[in-house]
Amino acid sequence: MALGLALLCAGAAAGAQTMMNVPARKATSLNGYWNNIIDPYGHGNGNYMRDRTFDGTRLQDYDFDTSTELRVPGDWNTQNPKYYYYEGIMWYRTKFNYDLTPGNRLFVHFEAANYKTSVWVNGRLAGEHEGGYTGFEYEITSLLRPGQENSLVVRVNNQRLPDGVPTMNTDWWNYGGITRSVYLVETAPTFIYDYSVQLSKDRTKIEGWIRLKGDDVAAKDVQLAIPELKINNTYKTGADGIATFSLKAKPELWSPESPRLYDVAVQFGSESISDRIGFRTIETKGDKILLNGKEVFLAGINLHEETVGDSRRANCKEDDVKLLTLAKELGCNFVRLAHYPHNADMTRTADELGLMVWSEIPLYWGINWRNEGTYTLAVQQLTEMISRDRNRASIIIWSIANETSVNAERTAFLSKLAGEARSLDGTRLISAALQNVNKQLAPNLYTVEDPLHEALDLFSFNEYIGWYDATKEACDVIEWSLPADKPIVISEFGGGGRRGRHSGPDAYFSEDNMVDLYRHQFIMLGKIKGLAGTIPWVLKDFRSPHRVLQGIQDDFNRKGIYDDKGRKKEVWNVLKEWNDAHR
């Protein structure tokens, strides 16, 4: 078996956490308005609130039927002014009727809820999940009340935890709630669970696997169909329920200039799941990044999963199109989805628009590197991210961390995690945003000393010369001493400016200063040998509890190239010119 296919199968064996491509299945949306009850003291963690019925004769402190409502999907912070800063427990309830085909199975699938979630169906616990940005699901077949109304109660707790991923301190808003879509998914007793359809590294074959889930998965016929490539083949599963394939093909390659996608169907019995998949390769050679065997420069931008205009958690394709269209208008061919996995429509939209993607798990700042449970949670979130998006051509980089301080425990933790990422998916680059702490080898000679880079495919780091470090004029004379055998990517740089504030080039938070800073930055970056990508911070102004300067920040990080309403700042022209000259 070829190495690439062996890695794909290893990823399948490691196991997805949820079934793939839920909207393409027999899925019923539970999106809408759900009753909610705030619970800051955790009173509902006892024997009540989960699904209690009152007869109207006893005293009660809460009642879902008369409670307020929150939109699902959605964060609670921006739906009700009372919840703006709230971090704690919120209870949700919705009711549904469902006629399940006899013998079939029913699952409840959450695309994400932040951060710890417990789910009850008709008063019985279905399951619990930790992690705010990846999906989870539970089978509820035995919990269903056939022919009756069913109650689905969800407890969501977004309190930050010292051993969590992310941990206590983040520079983005801790949006609470059921922040992405919820579905009921009906399946046969044995069904397609997940699949991988990829282009081989030599670009001569399409290879991958289809995996079944159920009690009877061995020696079953599964089909792969790609009509435009005249592929319609049948394969037989092994004892593990996995059928592998490798077949000669010459598809048109996906790229930012030509984001070609193919209709792909995987089939088992009466079940057929449709997808749109692009085929491309990504690799490094020396200090170059090669897309489809050709050198590519990552003309990028960072962005948070926060909407244009009302600055809430983005949760649908319409939200994602607006964000990624801003990136395209800026001349970008690449986006870094900071600092956690964004919703599934974001990466699908990137496929369609032709934007390469860096996707990241939220190992951010002060993680408890010595805690085994934290490592287990990091592997879980990495697995959930890769499992969901392994067929997205746009994703070229899996990132395992951002701005983590260098020490032995951290380097061992992340080096091991990089190995986990490669075992899950050997077809993409593995990286992390390293932290420059202004290390000087000599006057005006800077470096980044971090042994983690040995476990990574890129040497990517964040630097804020001219904003947090040194002066912007220093950029004109600074040189960098960096590894010569890997592509260099500046994963963050920039500075803040409030749109419409003009106080001269030396005044912090003025548009004039922001323009001047970027011009000096580009003088410095243009001198870096092996520079393969630049990813300024950040696409648009976004909410952050760290940014409280009244009249300027007002709970927003103001480093956006656009403001929170999606309006261009003057620095837009400087960055657009750089992108046009380099991509």
Per residue, what are the HEC states of 14-25? Answer: HCCCCCCCHHHC
Res 17: pLDDT: 74
Res 49: pLDDT: 58
**Phi, psi at 35, each rounded to 5°:** -65, 145
Please indicate, yes or no, whether residues 392 and 530 belong to a single structural domain of this protein: yes
- Of the residues 147, 180, 213, which one is the last residue of a structural domain? 180
Please indicate, yes or no, whether residues 261 and 344 belong to a single structural domain of this protein: no
In a domain, 351, yes or no: yes
Res 437: pLDDT: 77
d(CA 158, CA 85): 11
In a domain, 392, yes or no: yes
Res 50: pLDDT: 52
In a domain, 3, yes or no: no
Please indicate, yes or no, whether residues 194 and 166 belong to a single structural domain of this protein: no
- Bridge partners of 291, per DSSP, are 282, 294
**How many structural domains is the chain composed of?**
3
Two structure tokens written together for 270? 């009466």
Please indicate, yes or no, whether residues 104 and 202 belong to a single structural domain of this protein: no
Please indicate, yes or no, whether residues 408 and 544 belong to a single structural domain of this protein: yes
Please indicate, yes or no, whether residues 440 and 558 belong to a single structural domain of this protein: yes
Res 8: pLDDT: 46
Q: Residue 422's domain spans which residues?
A: 284-582
Please indicate, yes or no, whether residues 148 and 240 belong to a single structural domain of this protein: no
d(CA 559, CA 549): 14
Q: Which residues of the chain have pLDDT under 50?
A: 1-8, 10-16, 51, 53-56
Strands 542-543 and 556-557: antiparallel
Exposure on the CB side of residue 117, measured as CA atoms within 13 A: 30
Please indicate, yes or no, whether residues 427 and 564 belong to a single structural domain of this protein: yes
d(CA 442, CA 446): 7
Please indicate, yes or no, whether residues 399 and 495 belong to a single structural domain of this protein: yes
The candidate with the shortest Cα–Cα distance to 398, out of 367, 436, 356, 366, is 356
pTM assigned to the model: 0.96
- The CATH number given to whatever domain includes residue 41 is 2.60.120.260
Please indicate, yes or no, whether residues 109 and 208 belong to a single structural domain of this protein: no
- At residue 460's C-alpha, the angle toward residues 301 and 425, to 5°, is 90
- The owner of tokens 């690799």 is 283
- The CATH number given to whatever domain includes residue 259 is 2.60.40.10
Res 58: pLDDT: 55
Please indicate, yes or no, whether residues 388 and 488 belong to a single structural domain of this protein: yes
